[in-house]
Amino acid sequence: MLLAVDVGNTDTVFGLYESGEWSNIWRMRSLAQENEAHYESKLRLHFLEAGLWFGDVETVVLCSVVPDLTPTIQKMLRSLFGDDIIVVGPDIYPALTIAIDHPHEIGADLIANAVAVTSRYKENCVVVDFGTALTFTTVSKDSKILGVAILPGLVTAVKALFANTAQLPEVPLKLPSTAIGRNTTEAIQAGILLGYEGLVKSLLSRIRAELGGECIAVATGGLSSIIETLKDEFVEIDRKLTLDGLRVIGESIRG
Protein backbone atom coordinates (compact mmCIF):
# COMPACT_ATOMS: atom_id res chain seq x y z
CA MET A 1 0.00 0.00 0.00
CA LEU A 2 0.97 3.61 -0.61
CA LEU A 3 -0.32 6.50 1.49
CA ALA A 4 -0.35 9.93 -0.19
CA VAL A 5 -0.88 12.98 2.04
CA ASP A 6 -1.76 16.37 0.56
CA VAL A 7 -1.76 19.18 3.14
CA GLY A 8 -3.73 22.07 1.67
CA ASN A 9 -4.80 25.43 3.02
CA THR A 10 -8.35 24.26 3.71
CA ASP A 11 -8.17 20.46 3.96
CA THR A 12 -5.59 17.74 4.40
CA VAL A 13 -6.30 14.75 2.16
CA PHE A 14 -5.10 11.21 2.86
CA GLY A 15 -5.27 8.75 -0.03
CA LEU A 16 -4.56 5.03 0.27
CA TYR A 17 -3.51 3.36 -2.99
CA GLU A 18 -3.53 -0.42 -3.41
CA SER A 19 -4.11 -2.92 -6.21
CA GLY A 20 -4.08 -0.21 -8.87
CA GLU A 21 -6.70 2.10 -7.37
CA TRP A 22 -7.41 4.60 -4.62
CA SER A 23 -9.21 2.36 -2.15
CA ASN A 24 -9.75 5.01 0.52
CA ILE A 25 -9.63 8.80 0.58
CA TRP A 26 -10.12 10.77 3.79
CA ARG A 27 -10.28 14.52 4.43
CA MET A 28 -9.49 16.48 7.58
CA ARG A 29 -9.54 20.22 8.19
CA SER A 30 -6.07 21.77 8.03
CA LEU A 31 -5.81 23.29 11.50
CA ALA A 32 -2.33 24.56 12.30
CA GLN A 33 -3.22 25.04 15.98
CA GLU A 34 -3.86 21.31 16.48
CA ASN A 35 -1.01 18.98 17.53
CA GLU A 36 0.01 15.64 16.04
CA ALA A 37 -2.19 13.71 18.49
CA HIS A 38 -5.27 15.32 16.94
CA TYR A 39 -4.41 14.09 13.44
CA GLU A 40 -3.12 10.74 14.64
CA SER A 41 -6.37 9.94 16.45
CA LYS A 42 -8.40 10.78 13.35
CA LEU A 43 -6.19 8.71 11.05
CA ARG A 44 -6.23 5.78 13.48
CA LEU A 45 -10.03 5.90 13.46
CA HIS A 46 -10.16 5.90 9.65
CA PHE A 47 -7.82 2.89 9.48
CA LEU A 48 -9.82 1.08 12.15
CA GLU A 49 -13.16 1.69 10.42
CA ALA A 50 -11.70 0.45 7.11
CA GLY A 51 -10.18 -2.65 8.72
CA LEU A 52 -6.66 -1.60 7.76
CA TRP A 53 -3.27 -1.97 9.47
CA PHE A 54 -0.57 0.69 9.53
CA GLY A 55 2.01 -2.03 8.93
CA ASP A 56 0.53 -2.70 5.48
CA VAL A 57 1.59 0.75 4.27
CA GLU A 58 4.95 0.46 2.51
CA THR A 59 5.35 4.00 1.15
CA VAL A 60 4.24 7.38 2.52
CA VAL A 61 4.49 10.52 0.35
CA LEU A 62 3.74 13.97 1.76
CA CYS A 63 3.25 17.33 0.10
CA SER A 64 2.29 20.45 1.99
CA VAL A 65 1.61 24.11 1.24
CA VAL A 66 1.03 24.98 4.91
CA PRO A 67 4.48 25.50 6.52
CA ASP A 68 3.04 25.87 10.03
CA LEU A 69 1.34 22.49 9.75
CA THR A 70 4.04 20.54 7.91
CA PRO A 71 6.14 19.59 10.98
CA THR A 72 3.03 18.43 12.85
CA ILE A 73 1.92 16.12 10.02
CA GLN A 74 5.48 14.85 9.50
CA LYS A 75 5.83 13.98 13.18
CA MET A 76 2.47 12.22 13.18
CA LEU A 77 3.32 10.18 10.07
CA ARG A 78 6.73 9.19 11.40
CA SER A 79 5.22 8.00 14.67
CA LEU A 80 2.85 5.72 12.75
CA PHE A 81 4.90 4.62 9.73
CA GLY A 82 8.56 5.18 10.62
CA ASP A 83 11.09 7.80 9.61
CA ASP A 84 11.26 6.96 5.90
CA ILE A 85 8.69 9.52 4.73
CA ILE A 86 9.02 11.03 1.26
CA VAL A 87 8.51 14.81 1.42
CA VAL A 88 7.91 16.51 -1.93
CA GLY A 89 10.20 19.38 -2.92
CA PRO A 90 11.56 20.80 -6.18
CA ASP A 91 14.29 18.16 -6.53
CA ILE A 92 12.17 15.12 -5.66
CA TYR A 93 11.43 13.96 -9.23
CA PRO A 94 14.46 14.24 -11.56
CA ALA A 95 12.36 13.57 -14.67
CA LEU A 96 10.60 16.92 -14.10
CA THR A 97 12.51 20.17 -14.60
CA ILE A 98 11.28 23.25 -12.75
CA ALA A 99 12.25 26.01 -15.17
CA ILE A 100 11.22 29.04 -13.10
CA ASP A 101 13.27 31.74 -11.39
CA HIS A 102 13.03 30.37 -7.85
CA PRO A 103 12.13 26.63 -7.84
CA HIS A 104 11.82 26.49 -4.05
CA GLU A 105 8.92 28.96 -4.20
CA ILE A 106 6.60 26.63 -6.12
CA GLY A 107 3.95 24.76 -4.14
CA ALA A 108 4.55 21.05 -3.57
CA ASP A 109 1.01 20.32 -4.74
CA LEU A 110 1.74 21.98 -8.09
CA ILE A 111 4.82 19.79 -8.45
CA ALA A 112 2.66 16.72 -7.81
CA ASN A 113 0.09 17.91 -10.36
CA ALA A 114 2.83 18.41 -12.95
CA VAL A 115 4.27 14.96 -12.29
CA ALA A 116 0.82 13.44 -12.76
CA VAL A 117 0.20 15.03 -16.17
CA THR A 118 3.74 14.36 -17.46
CA SER A 119 3.25 10.70 -16.62
CA ARG A 120 -0.01 10.61 -18.61
CA TYR A 121 0.57 12.99 -21.53
CA LYS A 122 3.51 13.93 -23.71
CA GLU A 123 2.00 17.28 -24.70
CA ASN A 124 2.13 20.85 -23.52
CA CYS A 125 -0.38 20.99 -20.68
CA VAL A 126 -1.93 23.48 -18.28
CA VAL A 127 -3.12 22.09 -14.95
CA VAL A 128 -5.94 24.22 -13.57
CA ASP A 129 -6.36 23.53 -9.86
CA PHE A 130 -9.63 24.81 -8.39
CA GLY A 131 -8.75 24.98 -4.70
CA THR A 132 -8.39 27.65 -2.04
CA ALA A 133 -6.30 29.35 -4.70
CA LEU A 134 -7.00 28.94 -8.41
CA THR A 135 -3.73 28.00 -10.07
CA PHE A 136 -2.63 27.48 -13.67
CA THR A 137 0.55 25.41 -13.92
CA THR A 138 2.02 25.24 -17.42
CA VAL A 139 4.04 22.11 -18.18
CA SER A 140 5.86 21.59 -21.49
CA LYS A 141 5.78 18.39 -23.52
CA ASP A 142 9.39 17.75 -22.50
CA SER A 143 8.45 17.71 -18.80
CA LYS A 144 9.32 21.24 -17.70
CA ILE A 145 7.25 23.43 -15.41
CA LEU A 146 7.38 26.69 -17.36
CA GLY A 147 5.48 28.85 -14.90
CA VAL A 148 2.34 29.40 -12.85
CA ALA A 149 -0.55 31.88 -12.61
CA ILE A 150 -2.24 32.25 -9.22
CA LEU A 151 -5.42 34.01 -8.11
CA PRO A 152 -8.01 33.61 -5.35
CA GLY A 153 -10.14 30.48 -5.60
CA LEU A 154 -13.93 30.56 -5.94
CA VAL A 155 -14.71 30.11 -2.24
CA THR A 156 -11.94 32.54 -1.30
CA ALA A 157 -13.42 35.18 -3.62
CA VAL A 158 -16.91 34.74 -2.20
CA LYS A 159 -15.63 34.88 1.39
CA ALA A 160 -13.62 38.02 0.64
CA LEU A 161 -16.70 39.70 -0.79
CA PHE A 162 -18.79 38.63 2.20
CA ALA A 163 -16.16 39.71 4.74
CA ASN A 164 -15.50 43.14 3.24
CA THR A 165 -18.98 44.33 2.29
CA ALA A 166 -21.60 45.12 4.91
CA GLN A 167 -24.70 44.26 2.89
CA LEU A 168 -23.61 41.30 0.80
CA PRO A 169 -24.31 37.76 2.10
CA GLU A 170 -22.24 34.61 1.64
CA VAL A 171 -23.90 32.61 -1.14
CA PRO A 172 -23.77 29.01 -2.41
CA LEU A 173 -21.54 28.27 -5.38
CA LYS A 174 -24.19 27.49 -7.96
CA LEU A 175 -23.89 28.43 -11.62
CA PRO A 176 -26.66 30.96 -12.44
CA SER A 177 -28.80 30.80 -15.56
CA THR A 178 -28.25 34.47 -16.37
CA ALA A 179 -25.53 37.08 -16.11
CA ILE A 180 -28.15 39.64 -15.09
CA GLY A 181 -28.80 38.81 -11.45
CA ARG A 182 -32.27 39.78 -10.22
CA ASN A 183 -31.48 39.48 -6.54
CA THR A 184 -28.36 39.71 -4.40
CA THR A 185 -27.64 35.98 -4.44
CA GLU A 186 -27.96 35.73 -8.22
CA ALA A 187 -25.89 38.90 -8.65
CA ILE A 188 -22.97 37.44 -6.68
CA GLN A 189 -23.24 34.07 -8.41
CA ALA A 190 -23.25 35.79 -11.80
CA GLY A 191 -20.28 37.96 -10.94
CA ILE A 192 -18.14 35.26 -9.34
CA LEU A 193 -19.00 32.11 -11.29
CA LEU A 194 -19.58 33.58 -14.73
CA GLY A 195 -16.71 35.97 -14.16
CA TYR A 196 -14.40 33.09 -13.33
CA GLU A 197 -15.67 31.19 -16.36
CA GLY A 198 -14.46 34.02 -18.57
CA LEU A 199 -11.25 34.36 -16.58
CA VAL A 200 -10.34 30.68 -16.99
CA LYS A 201 -11.06 30.74 -20.71
CA SER A 202 -9.08 33.94 -21.17
CA LEU A 203 -6.00 32.72 -19.28
CA LEU A 204 -6.02 29.37 -21.08
CA SER A 205 -6.28 31.20 -24.40
CA ARG A 206 -3.31 33.44 -23.57
CA ILE A 207 -1.19 30.53 -22.34
CA ARG A 208 -1.97 28.53 -25.47
CA ALA A 209 -1.08 31.49 -27.68
CA GLU A 210 2.28 31.90 -25.90
CA LEU A 211 2.98 28.19 -26.51
CA GLY A 212 2.10 28.41 -30.16
CA GLY A 213 -1.43 27.03 -29.82
CA GLU A 214 -0.58 23.43 -28.97
CA CYS A 215 -1.61 22.88 -25.37
CA ILE A 216 -4.16 20.70 -23.59
CA ALA A 217 -5.66 21.49 -20.18
CA VAL A 218 -6.49 19.28 -17.20
CA ALA A 219 -8.63 20.37 -14.25
CA THR A 220 -8.36 19.25 -10.66
CA GLY A 221 -9.31 20.43 -7.18
CA GLY A 222 -12.45 20.17 -5.10
CA LEU A 223 -14.30 22.81 -7.13
CA SER A 224 -13.20 21.65 -10.58
CA SER A 225 -16.73 20.63 -11.61
CA ILE A 226 -18.60 23.67 -10.25
CA ILE A 227 -18.48 25.68 -13.48
CA GLU A 228 -20.01 23.09 -15.77
CA THR A 229 -19.67 25.30 -18.84
CA LEU A 230 -15.88 24.92 -18.65
CA LYS A 231 -15.81 21.15 -19.08
CA ASP A 232 -15.10 21.33 -22.81
CA GLU A 233 -11.90 23.27 -22.07
CA PHE A 234 -10.35 20.20 -20.44
CA VAL A 235 -9.29 16.82 -21.74
CA GLU A 236 -9.79 15.52 -18.22
CA ILE A 237 -11.23 16.58 -14.87
CA ASP A 238 -9.57 14.56 -12.11
CA ARG A 239 -10.04 15.55 -8.47
CA LYS A 240 -7.42 12.95 -7.48
CA LEU A 241 -4.70 14.38 -9.75
CA THR A 242 -2.50 15.63 -6.88
CA LEU A 243 -2.72 12.29 -5.09
CA ASP A 244 -1.83 10.50 -8.31
CA GLY A 245 1.23 12.69 -8.76
CA LEU A 246 2.30 11.78 -5.23
CA ARG A 247 1.79 8.11 -6.12
CA VAL A 248 4.02 8.45 -9.19
CA ILE A 249 6.70 10.16 -7.10
CA GLY A 250 6.52 7.47 -4.43
CA GLU A 251 6.70 4.62 -6.91
CA SER A 252 9.63 6.21 -8.75
CA ILE A 253 11.62 6.47 -5.52
CA ARG A 254 10.70 3.09 -4.07
CA GLY A 255 10.94 1.34 -7.42
Q: Name the residues annotated as catalytic.
A: 109
DSSP string across the chain: -EEEEEE-SSEEEEEEEETTEEEEEEEEE--TTS-HHHHHHHHHHHHHHHT--GGG--EEEEEES-TTTHHHHHHHHHHHH-S--EE--TTS-TTSEE-SS-GGGS-HHHHHHHHHHHHH--S-EEEEEESSEEEEEEE-TTSEEEEEEEEE-HHHHHHHHHHH-SSPPP------S-SS-SSHHHHHHIIIIIHHHHHHHHHHHHHHHHTTT--EEEEESTTTTTSGGGGGG-SEE-TTHHHHHHHHHHHHHH-
For residue 127, the tally of other CB atoms under 10 A from its CB is 28
Residue among 197, 199, 173, 196 nearest 186 (CA):
173
